A and B are shown apart, each in its own frame.
Chain A
Amino acid sequence: MLGFLLNRIGTMLLTMLVISMLVFFIAEVVPIDPARNALGRYASQQAVDDLREKMGLDRPAPVRYFNWISNVLRGDFGDSIHFQRPVRDLVAVRLERSLTLAGLGFAFMIPLGLALGCIAGINEGKPPDRIISLISSLFVSVPAFASGIFLIVIFSLWLGWFPGVSIPDPDASFLESAKKLILPILVLALDEIGYLARMTRVSMAEVMKSDYIRTAVLKGIPKRKVIWRHALRNAFIAPFTAIMLHVNWLIGGVVVVEVLFNYPGLGRLLLDAALRNDITLLMGGTLVLTFVAVATQVVADIGLYFMNPRIRFG
């Protein structure tokens, strides 16, 4: 167990190191002068040169990388060029937002996706399966920006049930804040539920056909108990991996949803940073995202370790 854990963490650290070098290298190659960017169009060239010196931009790349990475390890991601405030503070706030949205999205879609997939898998070939498969295919095929706009038009403009803009308001009541998040979560979830349901369905259908399930049924164990005690545990291995892979996407890749609903999350922050040539923020944010991605993989591996005895003993 300990060996396994150390192994995984070691791999994670190595991945982070390589990614950090990649990110830094890409930032190097991009032809933008951070000092000019910071001071704006009207500043004199002298002021820009002075700032370049202060920012240490005239030192060779490996030295700068070293400084940057040692700062990062101490928790200092530098200052955003555009906002002129610590990257860490900006990213922390946005990360919390994205995690909230992702967390709520997960809480909504995992039970539903798994449940739908199970029902479909158990009744393979029969009407419930057909209907669920059709609906999940539909959900999967409609892209997030399209379903988002449909939902805004239907629920916000025509029905007026939910607000079309989801900017968090610290003064609002819990109910109001909850109402704001329903539409974005729905857009996120619809995409995912379809995908998860299909994966679970396949996994479940396969498990139901396996020998040990047939043995259990033949032994006389009631069907419900067979499913709960034996089938589910094995059927959930594949969907679990899928869910874990999706965590990364949910936290950083939901830019479409964040832009549509004006939700100030991490994806939006990085998009704006890219559009504004804010290199420091981009680098810091990307590193954080990568860390989340790699860390969830480690968590997934540990989870699988416990779920799948073959990993434990094989």
Chain B
Amino acid sequence: MKSKLLTSLTFTLVLTLLLLGLTSCGPATDEPAAPEPSATAEAATSPAGLPVRGGTLRTEHQWMPYMQDPATDGVGTGLVGLSIAESLVWVGKDLVPRPQLLRSWEVSEDAKEWTLHLQEGVTFNNSKAFNADDVIWNFQHWLDPDVGSSMATRLDFLSPTGIEKVDEFTVKLHLDRPNANLLFALYDYPSMIAPEGGWEDFYSGDPADAIGTGPFLMESFTPDERMVLVRNPNYWQMGADGQPLPYVDKVIVTAGWDDAARLAALIGDQADILAPRQGIITELQRYPGKIDVQTYITGWITPIVMRADMPPFDDVRVRNALKLVQDRERIRALVMPMGPVGYDHLIPSSDAAYCPATDVHRDRDIEQAKALLAEAGYPDGIELELALPDGDFRTSFAQVYKEMAAEAGISIDINILPSPAFWDQWMEWPFFVSGMSGRVPATANIDLALRCGSDWNSSHYCNEALDALLDEADATVDIEKRKELYCQIQTIIQEDSAYVIPFFAVTFGASQSDVHQPSNWSRGGFLWHLTWLLN
């Protein structure tokens, strides 16, 4: 009797204490007990405004690289490698190509002849001098079908026979068809310049294998874990203070973290800079003096795609009906609040190919959608299955869209698949949520995704008129004339293609406030050689 009383008393006491403890320890709102920030928000440069040298930059990267030949990289893991081996040009936030291993270039009137002038006096980190032989070897390598590089698709207007060596530092390219946007193809993750003969195994872990002209050398590499880069003392580009770049001594890149870990790492000073996902942005913004958050609108899209070559989507009325059910503003607010609204063409408003004059902002119209479906032979609505990969915001996108479509009699069954299973056959799904990173210019993406029979044409859309317009635009060097063509291209995509695009997805960068970043970011922030630390 007595022990029973004692037991129940103990139990109640412990429980009460627990509940009290839980209620008093609320979520971190006004006063997070985070460590004191070391630098104040204002001074992002030293007093003299000059860069500060030294220090170690710590970051993480979602996917660690592993390709033996970075030219075959199809997933983007190789972005990190661009700090060791450079590309011929680089493109900043303003979408203008700038010299890197190319000193300058000229293009003929008809955009079929490109003359590339290489930088002189550059050496690879194995002491080999950089010259035209290396560039030619790389082009041949990219175009070689046995290699299987995505560069072959991006450079499909060039044949191996069209590459001419003029002299030690000049290469001429004779294109099969005109293309005014060549430079943008020379700036993607598979376009690192290898020494003539190529790499044996770039990410073997042996620093001697990671040969490049870049600002950093590989010090160590543990697969899927960690990569350490150290300053290349013989780097050829100078910083703002007249000394060779980079400013930092070391970069430590660790394999991708999940969102909770990223949050903890930034707040706990374990990382200096990284790319967080949408889920933790609001939390990161609660530390304004300590953490800077940047938003990048890169043209990344996660469209709902239909197979334009299969019923029911081969009927343009069905396609447009599916576009008309969207309340774009609402979808954006629920799924991607920080991104711009999209209007079914995949051209961001910042892109040179964007045409404001012909951009139609079609509002939600359920009646019209129903009417179109009835006309196409589906008076009682239609049943569809939507496939998508798991993770991030695509799931909520699918849910919201499903509910909106239901009002027009379109009943959607959502099928969420594990990422690898989905992407393994991404070109085969009839109705699915896809993804495409932004490319500059947007016409590169249009080429890759909407030309008849192109490699990444997941909607299997084929419109000869569009192809003809794209060819013409490629060949037109005059900017005004090209703009007119872009307007027509945009209209076709908006009215006829098989994409449902209510928003552009946004990528984020977050850094400690004592990290000075270059103002002209690109590639989601891998310009480590232009970054410096203030402490």
Residues of A within 8 A of B424 (CB): 277
CB <8 Å contact, A157 and B263: yes
What's the nearest-Cβ distance from chain B to residue A206, in Å? 20
Say whether B11 contacts A262, CB under 8 Å: no
Most A-side CB within 10 Å, residue of B11, B150, B271, B424: B424
Given contacts A43-B148, A157-B28, A158-B28, contact A125 B3 (CB under 8 A): yes
Complex contact B420–A276 (CB within 8 A): yes
From the candidates A40, A42, A165, A275, name the one contacting B264 in the complex (CB within 8 A): A165
Q: Which of A84, A130, A164 contacts B265 (CB 8 A)?
A: A164
- A161 nearest in chain B by CB position: B268
CB contacts under 8 Å to B, within A258-302, are 259-262, 264, 269, 272, 275-277
> A167 on the interface (CB 8 Å rule)?
yes
B153 to chain A, nearest CB (A): 7
> Does A146 belong to the interface (CB within 8 Å)?
no
Contact B418 A159 (CB under 8 A): no
* Docked-complex contact B258 and A260, CB < 8 angstroms: yes
A214 within 8 A of B: no
Q: How far is the CA of A259 from the CA of B260 in the complex (A)?
A: 11
- Shortest distance in angstroms between B390's beta carbon and chain A's nearest beta carbon? 11
Residues of B within 8 A of A259 (CB): 258
Q: Report the bound CA distance from A40 to B73 in whole Å.
A: 8
- Taken together as a complex, chains A and B put the C-alpha atoms of A190 and B225 apart, in Å, by 27
Residues in A whose Cβ lies below 8 Å from that of B223: 83, 85, 90
CB of B35 within 8 Å of the partner chain: yes
Are B265 and A40 in contact (CB-based, < 8 A)? no
Question: How many angstroms from the CA of A17 to the CA of B214 in the assembled complex?
Answer: 50
Given contacts A157-B28, A157-B263, contact A47 B258 (CB under 8 A): no
Given contacts A42-B150, A44-B148, A277-B420, contact A164 B268 (CB under 8 A): yes
Which residues of the partner chain A approach B496 to less than 8 Å between Cβ atoms? none
Of the listed residues A85, A159, A272, A276, the one surrounded by the most CB atoms of chain B closer than 10 A to its CB is A85
* Contact status B148-A42, CB under 8 Å: yes
CB-nearest residue of chain B to A44: B145
Interface residues on B, range: 35 or more
Min CB distance A88 to B, Å, is 13
Q: Mark B128-165, 1 if CB is under 8 A from A, else 0.
A: 00000000000000000110111011000000000000
Give the size of the chain A interface in residues (CB under 8 angstroms).
Answer: 42
Shortest distance in angstroms between B512's beta carbon and chain A's nearest beta carbon?
14
Question: Is A60 in contact with chain B by the CB < 8 A criterion?
Answer: no
Distance to closest chain A CB from B233 (angstroms):
20
Q: How far is the CA of A168 from the CA of B222 in the complex (A)?
A: 11
Q: Is A262's CB under 8 angstroms from B254's CB? A: yes
Give complex CA distance A85, B223 in Å: 9
Q: Complex Cα distance A288/B524, Å?
A: 39
B321 at the interface (CB under 8 A from A): no
* Binary per-residue interface labels of chain A (136-180) against chain B in the complex, 1 for a CB within 8 Å, 0 otherwise: 000000000000010010101111100111011100000000000
Within 8 A of A (CB), among B258-298: 258, 260-261, 263-265, 267-268, 270-271
How far is it, in angstroms, between the C-alpha of A88 and the C-alpha of B265 when the chains are bound? Answer: 31
- A304 CB–B CB distance under 8 Å: no
A152 surroundings in chain B (CB, below 8 A): 260-261, 264
Chain B nearest CB from A101 CB (Å) reads 14
Q: Is the CB of B153 within 8 A of A42?
A: yes
Is the CB of B14 closer than 8 A to any CB of chain A? yes
In the complex, whether B10 has a CB less than 8 A from a CB of chain A is yes
A134 at the interface (CB under 8 A from B): yes
B10 touches A130 (CB 8 A): yes
Task: Select one of B74, B225, B264, B267 contacting A41, CB under 8 A.
Answer: B74
Contact of B35 among A39, A127, A160 (CB under 8 A): A160
Interface of chain A, main secondary structure: loop
Q: Are B148 and A83 in contact (CB under 8 A)?
A: no
When C-beta atoms are compared, the residue in chain A nearest to B419 turns out to be A275
Q: Fill in one digit per residue for A175-198: 1 if any B CB lies within 8 Å of its CB, else 0.
A: 000000000000000000000000
Asked whether B32 lies within 8 Å of A163 as measured between CB atoms, the reply is: no
Q: Which of A77-93 contact B (CB under 8 A)?
A: 82-85, 90, 93
Q: How far is the CA of A223 from the CA of B11 in the complex (A)?
A: 30
Q: How far is the CA of A101 from the CA of B182 in the complex (A)?
A: 51
Knowing A127-B6, A156-B268, the reply to whether A149 touches B72 (Cβ < 8 A) is no
Q: Bound complex: CA of A308 vs CA of B511, how far in Å?
A: 60
- Contact yes or no, B146 A44, CB < 8 A: yes
Inter-chain contacts of B74 with A (CB < 8 A) = 40-42
Bound together, the chains give a CA A275 to CA B390 distance in angstroms of 12
Task: Report A-chain residues with C-beta under 8 Å of the C-beta of B267.
Answer: 156-157, 160
Q: Tell me if B148 and A40 are in contact (CB < 8 A).
A: yes
Give the CA-CA distance A108 to B263 in the complex, in Å: 28
| Most chain A CB neighbours (cut-off 10 Å) among B3, B145, B225 | B225
Judge whether B225 and A160 touch: CB under 8 Å: no
Is A21 part of the binding interface, using a Cβ–Cβ cutoff of 8 Å? no
Asked whether any CB of chain B lies closer than 8 Å to the CB of A131, the reply is yes
- CB closest chain-A residue, reference B7: A130
Per-residue contact bits, chain A 42-54, to B (CB 8 Å; 1 contact, 0 not): 1110010000000
Kindly list chain B residues whose C-beta atoms are within 8 Å of the C-beta of A130: 6-7, 10
CA distance A269 to B223 in the complex (A): 11
Whether A157 pairs with B32 at a CB distance below 8 angstroms is yes
Smallest Cβ distance from A96 to chain B, in angstroms?
Answer: 12
CB distance from B280 to the nearest CB of A (A): 11
Residues of A within 8 A of B152 (CB): 42
Inter-chain contact B419/A165, CB cutoff 8 Å: no
**Does the CB pair A163–B270 fall under 8 Å?**
yes
Q: Chain B residues near A169: list those with CB within 8 A.
A: 226, 252
- Cβ B265 vs Cβ A165 within 8 A: yes
CB-defined contacts of A156 to chain B, threshold 8 Å: 264, 267-268
A190 nearest CB across to chain B (Å): 15
Residues of B within 8 A of A277 (CB): 420, 424
Which residues of B lie under 8 Å from residue A167 when comparing CB positions?
A: 225-226, 254-255
Q: Which residues on the B side are within 8 Å of A165 (C-beta)? A: 254, 257, 261, 264-265, 270-271
The reply on B526 being an interface residue by CB < 8 A is no
- Cα-based distance from A158 to B148 in the complex (angstroms): 49
Complex Cα gap A156–B265 (Å)? 9
**C-alpha gap A45/B349 in the complex (Å):** 39
Whether B258 and A83, one on each chain, are in contact in the complex, defined by CB atoms closer than 8 angstroms, is no
Interchain residue pairs with CB less than 8 A apart (8)? A42-B72, A85-B223, A160-B267, A160-B268, A164-B263, A165-B270, A167-B226, A259-B258
Interface residues of B (CB under 8 A from A): 3, 6-7, 10-11, 14, 25, 28, 32-35, 66, 68, 72, 74, 145-146, 148-150, 152-153, 222-226, 252, 254-255, 257-258, 260-261, 263-265, 267-268, 270-271, 418-420, 424, 455
- Which chain A residues have a beta carbon within 8 Å of chain B's beta carbons? 39-44, 47, 82-85, 90, 93, 125, 127, 130-131, 134, 149, 152, 154, 156-160, 163-165, 167-169, 259-262, 264, 269, 272, 275-277
A-B contacts besides A130-B10, A260-B260, 6 pairs, CB < 8 Å:
A152-B260, A152-B261, A164-B264, A164-B270, A168-B225, A264-B222
In the A-B complex, list the 7 residue pairs whose CB atoms are closest, starting with the nearest.
A164-B264, A43-B148, A156-B264, A42-B148, A264-B225, A165-B261, A167-B254
